[in-house]
A and B are shown apart, each in its own frame.
Chain A
Amino acid sequence: AQSVTQLDSQVPVFEEAPVELRCNYSSSVSVYLFWYVQYPNQGLQLLLKYLSGSTLVESINGFEAEFNKSQTSFHLRKPSVHISDTAEYFCAVSERGSYIPTFGRGTSLIVHP
């Protein structure tokens, strides 16, 4: 069975600093990988996803994540964060052929001015 571990429950950073939110998963089969973001008082929305091909995927607002098969990781990074990036970030994994993703517990990114 698959599982997802987000190692940090909370990550405080200052504005314009770089950030990395870590995600590791375990699965015995090929997977699809997702990062969802939940802004305060809003529903989750897809930030980016890896399906196949290039292991580096990017979002429209400057985030990127790299699929590392050997380390079973899909860490999320941004070189310079904004106050508006303050949100809860969820990593999710779907095994190929499955219809139910597994979500991590979430990482709260808190950007300070």
Chain B
Amino acid sequence: GAGVSQSPSNKVTEKGKDVELRCDPISGHTALYWYRQSLGQGLEFLIYFQGNSAPDKSGLPSDRFSAERTGGSVSTLTIQRTQQEDSAVYLCASSFSVGQGYDEQFFGPGTRLTVL
């Protein structure tokens, strides 16, 4: 079956514009994560969805960032009024997880966001 897919692969936008990044997880995976990967930095956790539970938004860096997951499948990460410091690779991962912490995460190829 298909892996995790993300679109677009690259996004260049102007400062102040809004952007939407999409993630299609592996079918049947109940857990979905968004991370941000900046140059020279590790993966920064942003948000976690598990089934129909309320998402864990504790990693979102500001209220300009939001995410939703429709029907327990596709997820969209929205960044409003983008700033240059938002430039990074945004990674999505999914897992067949029930919150035990031992499940392998399957990552998408990422969306490279460049804010001019």
Contact = CB atoms under 8 A, between A and B. Distances in A.
Contact of B40 (A9, A46, A49, A51): A9
A105 B40 contact: yes
Contact of B41 (A43, A102, A105): A105
Interface of A is mostly: loop
Interface of B: 3-4, 31, 33, 35, 40-43, 45, 48, 50, 56, 59, 91, 93, 97, 99-102, 104-110
A85 interface: no
A44 B105 CA distance: 9
Contacts of B106: 45
Nearest to B4: A43
Contacts, number: 66
B43 A90 contact: yes
B91 to A, nearest CB: 7
The winner among A97, A99, A101 for most chain B CB atoms within 10 A is A99
A32 B110 contact: no
Contacts of A99: 31, 48, 50, 56, 97, 99-101
Given A43-B91, A45-B107, A95 B42 contact: no
Contacts of B45: 100, 102
Nearest to B43: A103
Nearest to A91: B42
Nearest to A34: B104
